C-alpha cells in the first residue's frame, strides 16, 4: 500500500499509509489469516469482507488501494478485478480514485500498468481492473478474482452483487470486499441482508470461517452529541473525521430535526429513516406471539379491506378481540403473478419466499383477480363470526357490490383523520403496552405485514391526529391501512377504556 501515493489535499504525494484501524480491522485479518489448500499452497481463509463504517473514514481510498493490490500484486495471472457501483454516476466516484492512484504510482508505472478511461490494465499478465454498475457491464463468462463493492446501501436490489459473487467460484483465493455506510433501515434490502449476516456470524448464530465482518456504530441509546459517542462510532476520529467537522454536523442536527436522521446514519452508523417512525419495529416484534388460525373459527372478528390498484397488492386484515383487552390479527395478501418479480427487487427476493411460505398469494396475469379475493372473504364469512368488514369507499369497485350481494357486512370507513387517527393510535398503544409474555396485538410475525410496518409514514394535522400516508411511505403500507380500518370497526363496538384515575382513587407512591 505504501508504494501508492495520495493524490489530493495536504496528503498529495505522500505514501498511502493505512490508518491503524484499517490495518487492525481490515488488512491484517483479511490478508494475514491463511491456510494451505489441497495442493499445500497457502491461500487466504477470508473470501468475503463486510466493513460498515460512517463517512469520512477514508474507505474509498483504502478500497481503491486494495483493489489495485488485488489486480496487480496478488500473484494472480489474468486477474479480473471489479469495482462495483450502484449506478453510472457512482461508478465514476468509485473508479476515479483508483485511476488517480495508479497514474501517480511510480511502482505501477515501472511495472507496465496502464490507465485507460474505464479500465486499468497490465498487458503483460492480462490482469485488469474495471468498474461495473449493471449486469450488462459484466463480462460474459466473467472469472472474477476480486471485487470491491462501495456503498452497498445504494444498491436497489442484489442482482449485480449476486452476479459478481457467483463469478468468483473458479478462482483459488477470490475476495469480495464490501465497504459501506449504514442504510436508512429498510428491512428487506440487499444491505439489510448482508448486515444481518455479519451480525449473525459475529454472535455465532452462523458459522462461516470465510466471512469477515466489522461494524463501527454508536448504540441507539448513546448521546449523539457527545464527543465520546463520535469516537465510539468513528475509528479514525479525530483525524478523519475531524472534531470540528462533527461539531458542525451535530449543530445542524440539533437545530433542524430533519438533519438528525442523516447525522445518526452517516456519522454515527445508526440505521434510521430520515423521518421519525410512528410504529417501532422492536415494539412490533415484541408483540408477535402465535396466531393459530384453526383456533379462531367461530370467534367474533372485524375486518379491513384495502384494495389498492388491480396491478398491485391487495390486503385483507381480520382483528379478533380477546379476553385480555388485546387482539389477534390475521392478514391475507394478494398480488398479480407478473408483479412478483418487481416485488422481489424491492424486497431483496423476499416476495418469492413469502409466496412459497403462504404469506402472499398470487393470481395469474398482471392484475389482481378479485374473484380469488371474493372467494376467500366468503370462506372467512362462513368460518368466523364476522361483525363488520370496513373498506375505503373512494376505491370501491364492483367487488364490494358483489360482496354485499353475498351477505358481507360491509361498512364504509372514510380515510380522513377523524376516522383513522383513533384506531392508529390504539394500534400504537397496544404495541407499546404489549410484552413478549403478554402481547396485546398478536400478529404471528407475518413478514409481509412487518415489511409494511417498517415502510409506514404518517400524516399529522395541527391537532396531532394521524393517519397512514401512502404518498410519503417508504414502500407499500396496504397491510397497515387494512389493520387501521379493521381496528376502526372493532373500536366502534368495544366498550370505552376506563382511566385508572376514575376507578382507583388516590394513590400515593
* pLDDT tens digit sequence for 43-92: 999 999 999 999 988 888 888 899 999 999 998 989 999 988 887 777 66
Grid cell at residue 34: 491463511
Answer for the pair 81, 145: CB distance below 8 angstroms, yes or no. yes
Q: What pLDDT shows up at residue 398?
A: 82
CATH dotted code for 9-215? 3.40.50.300
Segment 291-302 mean pLDDT: 94
What per-residue confidence (pLDDT) applies to 310?
Answer: 63
Global pTM value: 0.60
Host H or E run for residue 294: none
What are the E-state strand segments in 156-313? 175-180, 211-215, 300-306
Lowest mean pLDDT among 85-89, 96-100, 442-446: 85-89
What pLDDT is attached to residue 396? 67
66: its cell numbers:
486494495
pLDDT of residue 430: 95
**Residue 498 pLDDT class (50, 70, 90 cuts):** very low
Helices (H), 73-124: 88-103, 106-110
Q: Dihedral through CA 355, CA 358, CA 364, CA 365, nearest 10?
A: -40
* Higher pLDDT, residue 279 or 184: 279
Q: What is the pLDDT of residue 169?
A: 81
Residues of the chain with pLDDT > 90, as a percent, come to: 48
Provide mean pLDDT across the span 405-431.
92
User: Are the CB atoms for 485 and 305 separated by under 8 Å?
Assistant: yes
Three-state DSSP at 392 gives: coil
- Tell me the Ramachandran region of residue 306: left when phi exceeds 0, alpha when psi lies from -120 to 50, beta otherwise: beta
Choose the weakest-confidence range: 129-138, 301-310, 397-406, 434-443. 129-138
pLDDT of 359 strictly over 50: yes
Return the DSSP state at 424: H
With cut-offs at 50, 70 and 90, classify the pLDDT of residue 504: very low
Residue 503 pLDDT level (bands cut at 50, 70, 90): very low
Q: Are 478 and 306 in contact (CB under 8 A)?
A: yes
DSSP conformational letter for 277: P
Which runs of consecutive H residues, i.e. helices, occur in 15-73? 20-22, 28-32, 59-72
Tell me, what's the pLDDT at 472? Answer: 65
Cα 131 to Cα 8: distance, rounded to the nearest angstrom: 21
| DSSP structure class, residue 11 | G
499 CB-contact burial (10 Å; exposed 0-12 / middle 13-18 / buried 19+):
exposed
Rounded to the nearest integer, the mean pLDDT of the chain is: 86
What is the number of helices (H) and of strands (E) in the chain? 19, 19
Q: Where exactly are the structural domains of the chain?
A: 9-215, 227-268, 281-492
pLDDT value for 104: 86
For residue 128, name the pLDDT band (cuts at 50, 70, 90). Answer: very high
Would you state the pLDDT for residue 394? Answer: 74
The grid coordinates listed for 257 are 430535526
Q: What is the pLDDT of residue 346?
A: 79
- The share of the chain scoring above pLDDT 70, in percent, equals 92
pLDDT recorded at residue 257: 61
Model confidence at 131, pLDDT cuts 50, 70, 90, reads: confident
For residue 15, what pLDDT is reported?
87
* Angle in degrees, 0-180, between the axes of helices 340-347 and 350-357, rounded to the nearest 10: 120
Smallest CA-to-CA distance from 267 within 308, 225, 326, 322 is with 225
Phi/psi for 266 (5° steps) reads -80, -30
Q: Beta strands of 201-325 (E only): which ranges?
A: 211-215, 300-306, 314-321
pLDDT at 395: 66
Q: Per the omega criterion (within 30 degrees of 0), is the bond before 440 cis?
A: no
Going by pLDDT thresholds of 50, 70 and 90, the confidence category of residue 366 is confident
281-492, what's its fold?
Nucleotidyltransferase; domain 5 (3.30.420)
Query: What phi and psi values does residue 290 have, to the nearest 5 degrees?
Result: -120, 135
State the pLDDT at residue 273. 58
50: cell is 463486510
Per residue in 213-266, pLDDT tens?
A: 999 999 988 999 999 999 999 999 998 899 999 999 999 888 766 578 788 989
Tens digit of each residue's pLDDT (9 = 90 or more) over 8-28: 777 778 888 899 999 999 999
Residue 454 and residue 300 in contact, taking contact as beta carbons nearer than 8 Å: no
375-401: average pLDDT:
89
Higher pLDDT, 475 or 121: 121
Q: Is the pLDDT of residue 274 over 50?
A: no
Is pLDDT larger for residue 508 or for residue 484?
484
Q: Does the pLDDT at position 98 exceed 90?
A: no
pLDDT at 467 exceeding the cut of 50: yes
Amino acid at each position: 500500500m505504501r508504494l501508492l501515493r495520495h493524490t489530493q489535499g495536504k496528503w498529495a504525494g505522500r505514501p498511502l499509509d493505512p490508518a491503524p484501524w484499517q490495518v487492525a480491522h481490515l488488512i491484517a485479518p483479511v490478508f494475514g489469516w491463511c491456510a494451505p489448500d489441497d495442493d499445500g499452497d497457502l491461500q487466504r481463509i477470508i473470501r468475503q469482507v463486510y466493513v460498515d463504517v460512517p463517512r469520512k473514514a477514508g474507505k474509498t481510498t483504502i478500497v481503491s488501494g486494495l483493489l489495485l493490490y488485488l489486480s496487480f500484486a496478488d500473484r494472480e495471472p489474468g486477474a479480473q478485478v471489479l469495482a462495483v457501483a450502484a449506478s453510472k454516476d457512482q461508478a465514476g466516484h468509485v473508479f476515479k480514485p483508483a485511476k488517480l492512484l495508479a497514474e501517480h504510482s511510480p511502482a505501477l508505472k515501472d511495472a507496465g500498468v496502464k490507465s485507460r478511461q474505464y479500465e486499468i490494465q497490465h498487458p503483460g499478465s492480462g490482469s485488469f481492473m474495471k468498474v461495473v454498475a449493471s449486469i450488462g457491464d459484466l463480462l460474459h463468462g466473467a472469472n472474477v478474482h476480486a471485487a470491491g463493492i462501495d456503498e452497498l446501501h445504494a444498491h436497489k436490489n442484489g442482482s449485480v452483487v449476486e452476479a459478481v459473487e457467483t463469478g468468483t467460484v473458479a478462482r483459488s483465493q477470490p475476495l469480495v470486499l464490501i465497504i459501506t455506510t449504514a442504510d436508512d433501515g429498510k428491512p428487506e434490502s440487499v444491505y439489510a441482508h448482508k448486515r444481518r449476516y455479519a451480525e449473525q456470524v459475529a454472535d455465532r448464530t452462523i458459522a462461516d470461517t470465510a466471512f469477515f465482518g466489522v461494524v463501527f456504530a454508536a448504540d441507539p441509546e448513546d448521546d449523539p452529541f457527545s464527543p465520546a459517542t463520535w469516537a465510539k462510532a468513528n475509528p479514525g476520529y479525530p483525524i478523519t473525521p475531524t472534531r470540528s467537522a462533527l461539531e458542525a454536523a451535530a449543530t445542524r442536527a440539533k437545530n433542524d430535526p430533519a438533519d438528525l436522521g442523516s447525522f445518526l446514519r452517516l456519522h454515527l452508523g445508526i440505521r434510521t429513516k430520515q423521518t421519525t417512525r410512528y410504529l417501532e419495529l422492536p415494539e412490533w416484534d415484541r408483540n408477535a406471539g402465535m396466531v393459530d388460525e384453526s383456533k379462531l373459527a367461530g370467534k367474533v372478528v372485524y375486518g379491513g379491506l384495502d384494495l389498492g390498484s388491480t396491478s398491485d397488492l391487495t390486503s385483507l386484515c381480520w382483528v379478533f378481540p380477546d379476553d385480555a383487552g388485546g387482539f389477534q390479527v390475521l392478514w391475507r395478501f394478494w398480488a398479480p403473478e407478473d408483479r412478483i418479480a418487481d416485488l422481489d427487487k424491492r424486497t431483496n427476493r423476499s416476495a418469492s419466499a413469502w409466496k412459497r411460505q403462504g404469506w402472499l398469494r398470487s393470481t395469474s396475469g398482471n392484475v389482481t383477480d378479485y374473484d380469488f379475493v371474493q372467494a376467500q372473504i366468503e370462506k372467512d364469512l362462513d368460518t368466523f363470526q364476522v361483525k363488520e368488514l370496513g373498506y375505503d369507499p373512494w376505491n370501491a369497485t364492483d367487488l364490494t357490490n358483489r360482496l354485499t350481494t353475498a351477505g358481507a357486512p360491509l361498512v364504509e370507513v372514510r380515510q380522513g383523520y377523524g376516522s383513522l387517527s383513533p384506531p392508529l393510535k390504539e394500534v400504537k398503544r397496544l404495541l407499546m403496552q404489549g410484552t413478549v409474555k403478554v402481547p396485546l396485538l398478536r400478529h404471528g410475525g407475518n413478514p409481509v405485514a412487518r415489511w409494511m410496518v417498517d415502510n409506514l409514514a404518517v400524516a399529522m394535522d395541527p391537532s396531532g391526529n394521524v393517519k397512514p400516508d401512502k404518498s410519503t411511505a417508504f414502500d407499500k403500507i396496504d397491510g397497515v391501512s387494512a389493520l387501521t380500518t379493521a381496528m376502526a370497526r372493532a373500536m366502534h363496538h368495544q366498550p370505552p377504556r376506563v382511566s385508572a384515575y376514575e376507578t382507583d382513587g388516590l394513590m400515593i407512591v
